Chain A
């Protein structure tokens, strides 16, 4: 048991728990453990030859040995003494062998800490490998080795991996955070810093894993989420399914702390308003004043972006969206989840179980949500018992005046089920329906009485118990039923049922004055043979009869009390003593006996028959705690809505949104919005989802060393192919997609900025559009239709009369962007169709080169200081440190002219804006250690900041 004791020593996280496990282990209770240890001794010899095989020089023998060892591990047998022999192979060239060694290492490193350290250097080397997958796998294994001594090494590796260019490696580092945290919680603060950094990551690959790490390490640091909230909402659709579950549950918690309740009285929300909120700030303010409750646009964003996930094939995703809607959506919107939840009932049995539990909780509060789907909850004979019981629960919750007769008819079939536990549960359900819906109380009661003549013992017993409860609630004349039950009494053997009948007779003994003493007589005869609960009720019955009808029952009562006095059960002895003191008057009896009648025959409140799921809603739906109805370890309470919404601006991202939107990443063209993300909900206003994708794509392509991964990452969802055409004077020109052939019904269009003066009007930017017919028929009358804004000054191309299949044509247009990067929207029309398209220029395209001398440049620059100067120091990528490539990068970003310079380290560029002709002067001064100072002088300060950003991005990366 060496393994277990080391476990106790080094497992900081749960020392107590490990100790418990040691206890369990040392007294093996399961036959499996015993067998495992028994076999181990016979395997001892075998392990000797495994050691030899591992030490041989043949790769195949080593592999064979490792396979057998993995077999041993899988069976739960101990193979730890092979550790030295195995660990030598950690640097093997054979991938499978290496992987199997990793499996072994992760399993036993904790027990063989010193030897495990031998392998660390191999991983440290692999962490620097040019291949991202090797880096990732090294980090995976390194972080899985639970040896406290390497904590600093792990910390370093995680920090480095978190800034890796490959999103896959960054994802691995997010996983490693959790591993390190469980190994050494002392590192929390440093790990939070890494989490903070990774939360800013825009890759869909990383998002799920880092949120998982956040939930594990610092779920209370909700402030880290603010700035990333919108990004997470927008990325959500493209995150892998497991990550979606984690993010959705975190955002549910987040939203409950940040937004005000949408459930307030008089809360109205008009779907049509939501667009307006996004459009303009003023409008929003107007509405805040006009209405009592207005949903925060961020709150709406979350609801809107999660809704499509209801269509996921992953049941966990669907459930998490359902719980999000349940906890966050306005009441009238919650029902959108119903259909999807009902769909999950077609899934595996275990899935049904969890979903039914959640529906059971929901259906208590919101009958209407599931009532139309009532038939989906009908029980099938092949359902497992726990599924049947849950369906019954839901049907009972759904019962109302309108559907009760259908439900009762269904219940009648269930009572006949061969599954007796289920039949009994059905009887209880009938009882609940009877109490909840007063119209059917009598019918149910009568039906239950009918069941008393059932041949099955459990059915009868359950009926008696339920009838007892019902009668108690219905203090009207029911002596017929009581009489009938008294008659059945001799045949009923289930003690609970017998006790119930006795209680009933005692309680209503005045209504059945003839039968009650007779029943007591019978009980006196059989008293000693009865179960304890029956004895207790017999004593009760005797006492009540003594008080109401002492003439007939005095002797019987005394006899029973005497029997009870010497009973083996102390409870019964106590009760007997108490009753005797209370009812039989003697000299010692105090004031209490005067009240005996009032004590024993007091009117008793009727029991409330309610759902077992009544209080489940204290737990968040879909959680383990909800499923078990116990607070599970690590369960995070969902907070109540704040009365006043915390500051909404915390979620604003510093950089002005439009700047980000058009920022082109080098090497990647920017397709128009509607085609950009096929898989995302991009139709409406979106802030920053685009550049999230772009960023991750470009970084992965830079990093991957193998050519295959290069090609894979360039195949984005956008299907846009980047065409680089070299125009010597102006540098490369990028072509952008205007219309995809799938949206355009065969017609596709691309555009680029030729960077030539526009022929039509000097204040227009020239745009060349290439139209291609990808369909199998010719397209006619291609022209430009409506434009927006209507005031947009646009020079159209002449109508193209006819475009044959596979043919393409390039036309020129002129657009006056008025020196703003706002997109020019217009319609591209054919004879039959109209397609809305938009051209969004990068800021660099709004300039024209301006030629001037160095002297003039400095003079002009002198006039544009102070407010008109924007500058930043940037770190140059290695490739851009030469002056030639620096100029090339600047020219590729902006359409400016080079100003010849006398200083070697200073580059100057000059341009004018196309529309207003304002001067734009760019200076790049390269400094030591590959940094550079970028300065832009112009009175168009918004353009300057945008341009600076573009240049920064272009120069900082290869």
Chain B
């Protein structure tokens, strides 16, 4: 399956290579570099590249390309999913997944890669098992290791691999038994110029941090499970019980994990919690444009809208901007033409606004494309879909755990599009005027 792996940084250097079968020369990456040169943006490099003897499947994360070399037919998603799992593992181990972190921990990285694949086929990808095999580096442990010469490799051989609950390590012990669940929802919406919603969807996840002794068996039930349109589970969740009773029943892995991802469909029409008033105009023949943007909260059940960030890609003709934010800070990059406004919290009494003028290239005609506006924000203690956890019960162990549930809403992306509001019939009319 996966023959070799090359890690390539943003400037196109290979800084790590690992082979699971016989060695493949790194010159195979030349084909990748060619594709990279052809792509205008780093994201535009095609994920699958054929070469005369191999196939390169790559993912880009944290500005590092993870390039896997494949020799024969394999489902590309298999490789892509695995590479993302590798990145997640690195992030889990080193806190960040940067070139520096990987280079600093090259031995741990190598040990991890060795355990994760055998002859190119995934062997141990569960974080609980890997952590038993190879302990994550911490500053303290690194120091102790240097002084005493002890190692990061677990002395005990792991047992999880052999158990029937492969995602959970055995012999877990805590003095404080806690289980925390974060319900995080992201709204993903496209709004047109007039403010009406084109599409709106909610993507939600329940991330858990479970630190419980022994082999606890948990059940989590919702007040309104029918809301969940489509779900995907961590392998620990018993599918049958969900089917029959709409209850999440599972033996949790130890530590952090994603229990559930769900989707709330656009049929349950979502109210977007913020609104935007905007007026961006360019006048023909003038080298000035006006920019006026105001944000306001809408249906947030009294919860504050925080960490608001507005960004917009202005047309190429815009040379510079002279804007005045009522709060927060704004930046405009004259090269990429990207305007970002870090608004902060929205105060319903005093709505934040960004007003001013844009200077355009002299003599250039009025830009005909209109900028789109992207908005990101967070609302604490509220799940926008209205999803509510009913109760959490534990079986199989005697102690009483501490349980906590937190809700949060994020805008994955609200994207206000300067849609042409003319319908196709108007198109026809415009055409007739031509002659």
User: What is the interface of chain A, defined by CB distance below 8 A to chain B?
Assistant: 3-4, 7, 11, 14, 17, 20-21, 24-25, 28-33, 36, 59-60, 63, 67, 70-71, 73-76, 94-97, 99-100, 102-103, 107, 110, 131-134, 140, 143-144, 146, 166-168, 172, 175-176, 178-179, 182, 205, 209, 212, 237, 240-242, 245, 249, 308, 311-316, 318-320, 339-340, 342-343, 346, 348-351, 353-355, 375-376, 378, 380-382, 384-386, 405, 408-409, 412-413, 416-418, 440, 442-443, 446-447, 449-450, 453-455, 480, 484, 622-625, 627-628, 630, 632-636, 678-683, 693, 697, 700, 704, 706, 708-709, 711-713, 715-717, 719, 741-742
Contact of B111 with A440 in the complex, beta carbons under 8 Å: no
**Nearest CB in chain B to that of A182: its residue:** B21
**10 smallest A-B Cβ distances: which pairs?**
A634-B72, A60-B149, A96-B151, A712-B163, A96-B153, A446-B431, A375-B199, A350-B47, A384-B43, A316-B77
Q: How far is the CB of A929 from chain B (nearest CB, A)?
A: 32
Query: Chain A at the B interface: mostly helix, strand, loop or mixed?
Result: helix
Contact of B14 with A76 in the complex, beta carbons under 8 Å: yes
State A172–B240 Cα separation when bound (angstroms): 31
What are 30 A-B interface contacts by the 8 Å CB criterion? Answer: A20-B52, A21-B25, A21-B53, A30-B33, A36-B26, A67-B107, A131-B157, A140-B118, A182-B21, A241-B235, A311-B239, A313-B233, A316-B77, A339-B229, A342-B230, A346-B188, A354-B76, A380-B415, A385-B44, A416-B368, A416-B370, A442-B428, A622-B76, A700-B162, A704-B162, A706-B157, A711-B170, A717-B165, A719-B217, A719-B396
Contact of A712 with B149 in the complex, beta carbons under 8 Å: no
Which of A107, A313, A409 lies in contact with B419, CB distance below 8 A? Answer: A409
**Nearest CB in chain B to that of A67: its residue:** B107
Q: Given contacts A354-B47, A715-B163, is CB(A245)–CB(B78) below 8 Å?
A: yes
Q: Given contacts A7-B23, A32-B13, A386-B44, is CB(A316)–CB(B157) below 8 Å?
A: no
Contact of B162 with A713 in the complex, beta carbons under 8 Å: yes
Contact of A315 with B73 in the complex, beta carbons under 8 Å: no
Contact of A712 with B159 in the complex, beta carbons under 8 Å: yes
Contact of A450 with B261 in the complex, beta carbons under 8 Å: no
Contacts A14-B53, A30-B26, A712-B162 aside, 20 further interface pairs with beta carbons under 8 A come to A20-B53, A21-B24, A29-B30, A36-B26, A67-B107, A74-B17, A76-B26, A133-B161, A134-B157, A319-B75, A348-B84, A350-B47, A354-B76, A416-B369, A418-B369, A440-B424, A625-B73, A635-B73, A678-B249, A715-B215
Does residue B399 face the partner (Cβ distance < 8 Å to A)? no
Which B residues are in CB contact (< 8 Å) with A349? 43, 47, 60
Which of A134, A209, A249, A449 lies in contact with B434, CB distance below 8 A? Answer: A449
Contact of A382 with B413 in the complex, beta carbons under 8 Å: yes
Contact of A209 with B33 in the complex, beta carbons under 8 Å: no
Which of A29, A74, A102, A386 lies in contact with B106, CB distance below 8 A? Answer: A74
In B83-110, which residues have CB < 8 Å from any A CB? 84, 106-107, 109-110
State A167–B162 Cα separation when bound (angstroms): 8
Which B residues are in CB contact (< 8 Å) with A70? 106-107, 110
Does residue B349 face the partner (Cβ distance < 8 Å to A)? no
Contact of B74 with A624 in the complex, beta carbons under 8 Å: yes
**Nearest CB in chain B to that of A35: its residue:** B13
Does residue B365 face the partner (Cβ distance < 8 Å to A)? yes
Q: Given contacts A348-B80, A683-B240, A712-B159, is CB(A624)–CB(B73) below 8 Å?
A: yes
Which of A36, A353, A413 lies in contact with B420, CB distance below 8 A? Answer: A413
Q: How far is the CB of B206 from chain A (nearest CB, A)?
A: 12
Which B residues are in CB contact (< 8 Å) with A384? 41, 43-44
Q: Given contacts A59-B149, A624-B48, is CB(A313)–CB(B232) below 8 Å?
A: yes
Contact of A623 with B73 in the complex, beta carbons under 8 Å: yes
Q: Given contacts A622-B75, A708-B170, is CB(A29)–CB(B27) below 8 Å?
A: yes
Does residue B198 face the partner (Cβ distance < 8 Å to A)? yes
State A623–B435 Cα separation when bound (angstroms): 52
State A626–B121 Cα separation when bound (angstroms): 21
**Nearest CB in chain B to that of A249: its residue:** B75
Does residue B292 face the partner (Cβ distance < 8 Å to A)? no
Q: Mask for B231-259, Cβ within 8 A of A = 1, else 0?
A: 11111001111010000010000000010
Does residue B306 face the partner (Cβ distance < 8 Å to A)? no
Does residue B305 face the partner (Cβ distance < 8 Å to A)? no
Q: How far is the CB of A218 from chain B (nearest CB, A)?
A: 15
Q: How far is the CB of A486 from chain B (nearest CB, A)?
A: 13
State A14–B76 Cα separation when bound (angstroms): 23
Which A residues are in CB contact (< 8 Å) with B153? 95-96, 99
Which B residues are in CB contact (< 8 Å) with A110? 22-23
State A331–B396 Cα separation when bound (angstroms): 45
Contact of B152 with A3 in the complex, beta carbons under 8 Å: no
Contact of A346 with B122 in the complex, beta carbons under 8 Å: no
Contact of A354 with B263 in the complex, beta carbons under 8 Å: no
**Nearest CB in chain A to that of B46: its residue:** A386
Contact of B233 with A312 in the complex, beta carbons under 8 Å: yes
Q: How far is the CB of B49 from chain A (nearest CB, A)?
A: 9
Which A residues are in CB contact (< 8 Å) with B25? 4, 21, 24-25, 33
Does residue B18 face the partner (Cβ distance < 8 Å to A)? yes
Contact of B55 with A632 in the complex, beta carbons under 8 Å: yes
Does residue B50 face the partner (Cβ distance < 8 Å to A)? yes
Q: Given contacts A409-B420, A416-B370, A741-B395, is CB(A168)–CB(B72) below 8 Å?
A: no
